[in-house]
Structure 1
Amino acid sequence: MSSEIDSAALLSQASQLIDLALAAGADKADAVVVRSRSRSVSVRLGKVEATEASESDDFALRVFVGNRVASISATPGATDARIIAERAVAMAKVSPEDPFACLADEADLSSNYPDLDLFDPTEIPTDALAEAALAAEAAAMAIPGVANSSGAGASAGMGGMVLATSHGFAGSYMGSRFGRSVSVIAGEGTKMERDYDFDSRLYFADLDSPEEIGRRAGERTVKRLNPRQVDTGRNVTVVFDPRVARGFVGHIAAAINGASVARKTSFLRDKMGQQVLKSGLTITDDPLIVRGPSSRPFDGEGVTGRKLAMIEDGVLRQWFLSTSTARELGLKTNGRGARGGSYVNPTSTNLMLEPGSIDPEALIRQVGTGFYVTELIGQGVNMITGEYSRGATGFWMENGEIAYPVSEVTIASNLKDMFMRVTPANDIDRSFSVVAPTIAIEGMTLAGR
């Protein structure tokens, strides 16, 4: 995997597309060029099953003719740049008007964006990827009780993006990503259980060892053996494991996304300035964390965001906003636009539910009796009403301790109520784009036997 990405050459391609679009009759334009490289190895039962490598070069040209907009995505060199620019302008002229489609205001554009140290040039040979995957699988299979493997993998990738606009922005940045994962099975017949573990980092040296990842996967799997069902109950306290809690915080992010608010598909759309989380809880979003997993020096429109308290002391303070979404809501962008080919949509970056003051063990002791969730099943979340119903597996808690594994249950409530009943622990792993500690949520319904 080559570590070289010629940003100057990509910027030249983007600028050429813009110049051609303006010459063809566009009033404004922007262009994104992305180059990516990746390699991965997957193994199962001690043998390499697949080795994959990919390279891609893609660009997206977006043009504006008055309030009409159109875009074209293609591979550089596949089609003459002039033809692409002329075609995009012709498409825009016959497109319906969109009063909110626009480039970022010139005053909002970043002129001196930071270096966030997102790129590790370390070269990992394919053989080393295979060795890591095999070591992770072997460590998992060595745990007593593990009977089979669903496979393990290791990967290395990098990407570079440049953005240029017709009103003066030109910028680029590069990022890298390394990963390891393994999934194994314990038990046999109808009593088999599966679980997994993984790690993903920007810098290779920061990765957990294959042996540690494998050990955790094996131990998690064996703990799930011989699960029981529990009785249906109301007002059950449910504790979410951190990797499940991250998904819960993701629901909060979806509910405060400006695009959902503009479409009226969020149950929090009328709650700005009101309490939506339990008092004392804060959710922050920061795109400028050095080596952050979702850091970016500027967004998909050339705007540099800053750290924001999206929800502060339980009170909703911000939406995630791109320029067009902000315009639709009568607001101003906060640098959360993500370019996805033709569109710019608001997204979170490095999102975190700030930790509480007690450790997970103390939180479980405080709960006493309840359900500790390690995996959720299904997509039973209605973001318009907040209704929440998910299949779940995990462990029953008694006398403040983990007692036995549980499966085939459903947990249900409404997100509006759940948000007001969250108690976080203090265990934070900042290596994920969405960061959450162990959390306890009171007053849920559990459907069992």
Structure 2
Amino acid sequence: MQSPKDARHIAETLVERGIAAGATAADALYAGGSSSSVQVRLGEIDSVSRSEGEQIGLRLFAGQRSATVASSDLSNEALGVLVDRCLAMAKEAPEDPFAGLAPGDLLQRGELPSLDADDGHEPDPTALRARALEAEKAALAVDGVTNSSGAGASASANIIALATSGGFSGAYRTCGHGCSAAVIAGEGATMQRDHAWHSAHHLEDLESAIEIGRRAGERAAARLNPTRPKPGKYPVLFDPRVSPGLLGHFTGAISGSSIARKTSFLLEKLGEPVFAPGVTIVDDPLRLRGLRSRPFDGEGVAVSRQELVSGGVLRSWMAESASARQLGIEPTGHAARGVGGAPSASPSNLYLAAGQRSREELLATFPEAVLIIELIGQGVNPVTGDYSRGAVGFMVRGGEIAEPVAEITIASNLIDMFATLEPGSDLEFRRGIDAPTLLVPEMTVGAA
């Protein structure tokens, strides 16, 4: 794996070679990474792994035609073959009137903003083993837990470098630390499984292995002896474990490609109220130590904190250059890409801001409600917003969490859900895409 400086030089050189070969425009993305992990089960080491790899992707344009080719061989000879192959493919590709690099005036210039996403900590297999064992031990100590599916600890480092013929070049490094545990409660046909995990850029920010393990055990034990509620209309609360999924449906609906293709249930909603007046949704790529932070987007465009929704009103689409041209707008700094494909719109550190009422107050809003902790299946129509998914959770009565429920479905329409949902005040930044507990006043609950 290269250093950021060397990775940037490789990307710059590859772009220069592409232009010298006859391409009208070019960009190159380097992605390198290393990771170490230890998995344990029932107090014994299950596996120890270490991996390291790097790839570079080259995108060349021949007028309005383009192609992308990737390689894990970064030798001079291999990169020469990569350029020739990519240019030949670009010349045979169909024309795309919207293809091209990002506008030069939007590119990140000067020193890259600091993300504080690299603590420089080197992986220590002994420490990883101890962390994994500690997490599993804490999980198995919870009453009702009968077996372990395993626990693990990991450490990683990643290098990203991007160069374009439009004048951008940049590179950065991030680190990651993680810990997880998964256990089983109960016996025989009544067994229930659950897990817990946490990850952070800085080791000092990683939740303790004991807390992670204990949470996994408590979650599994709480799911024992589930029932099914009587079918009908219920208030539904989405636990922070699953509430970010609603943000995923939202970002898919406001991506430039969905709007350009007219395949979004929010197609005509720009500038209109979509959520309740108190709802704010923010995308912040520059949050220090954020799990999805980035100093520039996948096309080299400068990034900044944006309120996609404020006062419940949809303020912006998310668009990379190609879809922005289709829509007649400027790119919004949301381009993301891998080494093998063209950019597409994707959020960075996205969150739905905390509301005024606590989780406990939301739970007590109605005499009876359903709290969802797990969603199953993909029954969401991105064109109409129709929503129907399998779910697992708990009944809530008088503001108290009661018996677990399983094998149920929850159904509504995302337009109605967004318009009426209320966020709790329990927002925590744990995943990169985050939301607090969300209350939807009415959904249909039935048997799966």
Q: TM-score range by the shorter chain?
A: over 0.9
Offset at 1:430?
Answer: 1.2
Q: Indicate the RMSD between aligned Cα atoms, in angstroms.
A: 1.3
In structure 2, what is the Cα distance between the partners aligned to 1:44 and 1:53? 19
Aligned counterpart for 2:10 among listed residues 5, 10, 13: 13
Give runs of aligned pairs for residues 21-420 of structure 1, distance below 5 A: 21-75=18-72, 76-77=74-75, 79-112=77-110, 113-234=112-233, 236-341=234-339, 342-420=341-419
Superposed CA deviations along residues 2-32 of structure 1, whole A, max 9, x for unmatched, are xx84222222211221121112110111111
For residue 102 of structure 1, what is the amino acid of its counterpart?
G
Residues 284 and 353, structure 1, Cα contact 8 Å, conserved in 2: yes
**SS of match in other structure, 1:159:** strand
In structure 2, what is the Cα distance between the partners aligned to 1:78 and 1:265? 44
Residues 36 and 123, structure 2, Cα contact 8 Å, conserved in 1: no
Superposed CA deviations along residues 125-152 of structure 1, whole A, max 9, x for unmatched, are 1121111111101100001110011111
Unmatched runs of 5 consecutive residues or more in structure 1: none
Offset at 1:78?
Answer: 8.3
For residue 88 of structure 1, what is the amino acid of its counterpart?
C
For residue 232 of structure 1, what is the amino acid of its counterpart?
P
For residue 268 of structure 1, what is the amino acid of its counterpart?
L
In structure 1, what is the Cα distance between the partners aligned to 2:365 and 2:54? 53
In structure 2, what is the Cα distance between the partners aligned to 1:178 and 1:367? 40
* Alignment coverage as a number of residue pairs: 445
Superposed CA deviations along residues 374-425 of structure 1, whole A, max 9, x for unmatched, are 1111111111111111111111111221121111111111111111110111
In structure 2, what is the Cα distance between the partners aligned to 1:145 and 1:83? 60
**SS of match in other structure, 2:277:** coil
For residue 16 of structure 1, what is the amino acid of its counterpart?
T
- List, as ranges, runs of 4+ consecutive aligned residues in structure 1 with deviation greater than 4 Å: none
For residue 157 of structure 1, what is the amino acid of its counterpart?
S
In structure 2, what is the Cα distance between the partners aligned to 1:380 and 1:158? 35
In structure 1, what is the Cα distance between the partners aligned to 2:286 and 2:397? 42
For residue 16 of structure 2, what is the amino acid of its counterpart?
D
Residues 287 and 295, structure 1, Cα contact 8 Å, conserved in 2: yes
In structure 1, what is the Cα distance between the partners aligned to 2:32 and 2:158? 6
Offset at 1:335?
Answer: 0.8
Residues 149 and 184, structure 2, Cα contact 8 Å, conserved in 1: yes
**SS of match in other structure, 2:243:** helix
- Deviation larger for 399-408 or 182-191: 399-408
In structure 2, what is the Cα distance between the partners aligned to 1:10 and 1:249? 34
In structure 1, what is the Cα distance between the partners aligned to 2:312 and 2:260? 22
**SS of match in other structure, 1:137:** helix
**SS of match in other structure, 1:199:** strand
**SS of match in other structure, 2:8:** helix
**SS of match in other structure, 1:154:** strand
Offset at 1:63?
Answer: 0.6
**SS of match in other structure, 2:343:** strand
TM-score normalized with structure 2 length:
0.97
Residues 235 and 440, structure 2, Cα contact 8 Å, conserved in 1: yes
Superposed CA deviations along residues 314-368 of structure 1, whole A, max 9, x for unmatched, are 1111111111111111110111101222211110011111111111111111233
Offset at 1:122?
Answer: 0.8
For residue 250 of structure 2, what is the amino acid of its counterpart?
I
In structure 2, what is the Cα distance between the partners aligned to 1:249 and 1:348? 10
Residues 272 and 318, structure 1, Cα contact 8 Å, conserved in 2: yes
For residue 379 of structure 1, what is the amino acid of its counterpart?
Q
Residues 368 and 401, structure 1, Cα contact 8 Å, conserved in 2: no
In structure 2, what is the Cα distance between the partners aligned to 1:39 and 1:175? 15
TM-score normalized with structure 1 length:
0.97
Offset at 1:120?
Answer: 1.4
**SS of match in other structure, 1:156:** strand
In structure 2, what is the Cα distance between the partners aligned to 1:79 and 1:45? 49
In structure 1, what is the Cα distance between the partners aligned to 2:262 and 2:338? 22
**SS of match in other structure, 1:244:** coil
Residues 237 and 442, structure 1, Cα contact 8 Å, conserved in 2: yes
Overall identity of the aligned pairs, in %: 45
Offset at 1:291?
Answer: 1.1
Unmatched runs of 5 consecutive residues or more in structure 2: none
**SS of match in other structure, 1:249:** helix
Offset at 1:191?
Answer: 0.6
